[in-house]
Amino acid sequence: MDKIFLRDLEIEAVIGIWEWERRITQKVSIDLEMAADARAAASADQIEGALNYRDVAKRLIDFVGGSQFELVESLAEAIARVIVVEFHVPWTRVSVAKPGAIEGSRTVGITIERTTEDFA
């Protein structure tokens, strides 16, 4: 299995449980791994047949930027659904981090793995 990855995609979003967090945007950082069979695209050296990570990034920027989740867990689940369902990816690993959420820690977050069976 091949894996396409995207690291440190930073997006401003409304995220958090506290009232003051609901009035502002905060940066979230997203890491993705997505299963793909890259052999055909690689041998043809053409974008056709490839998982277009630019399209994935643009979709997530729009989706996350317009979202208003309370929990990073909920945001990660929603991102996984977008990747699996909209981009027909059989497996994904999604990490969502919220930098600066805990004093003394660079970042906190969650990593989940989902497959097509999770969204059937």
Judge contact between 109 and 95, C-beta under 8 A: yes
98 is catalytic: yes
* Distances 43 to 15, 33, 40, 115, 119 between C-alpha atoms, Å: 42, 21, 5, 26, 31
Q: Which of 3, 27, 58, 98 is catalytic?
A: 98
Q: Which residues are catalytic?
A: 98
